[in-house]
Amino acid sequence: MRWCAACRRYVSGHPRYCPTCGRTFSVRLCPRGHHNPRHVVFCTHCGSDNLSTPAPAEPGLDAGVHRASVIVTPFVIAGLVISTVLGTLILIDWMQLMRFLVAVGFMLGGCYWAISFLPPSVRRFVLAVGRRLFNAVRGTGDKSRQH
């Protein structure tokens, strides 16, 4: 992310020109794209006098503030996400959740055990119905039959 000192806006990525004001960032470019220092009048590679106008140089403190804001922002966001997740984990009643998960586990295990006693043809039918119900709940429909 770059900061344009001319129009005072942040620009995402690393573009050569500011999309708002059209100035270059800390260099002068000729029509062929050669990079030149900001103080030259002619291109040092091809001699062209048609050079871009660079954005004004930022004072050292301003440049540091803009770079720091770009660097610090992801850490602030990560800190907020982590503190939210940890706060949520602290608020969960783990004993009640464990009882619920154990009950669901026993129910699923009992269904699996009961299905294992069915004849193969009935077992295939029950599993097909279960797949269709699962896909209907998920909202995907039966993808295997849509060819």
Enter the pTM of the model.
Answer: 0.36
Is pLDDT larger for residue 16 or for residue 99? 99
Quote the CA–CA distance of 120 and 19 in Å, as a whole number: 67
**Confidence band, pLDDT 50/70/90 cuts, at residue 141:** low
6 by Cβ neighbours in 10 Å (0-12 / 13-18 / 19+) ranks as middle
Q: Which residue has the higher pLDDT, 96 or 14?
A: 96
Q: Does residue 60 carry a pLDDT above 80?
A: no
Q: Choose between 55 and 135: higher pLDDT.
A: 135
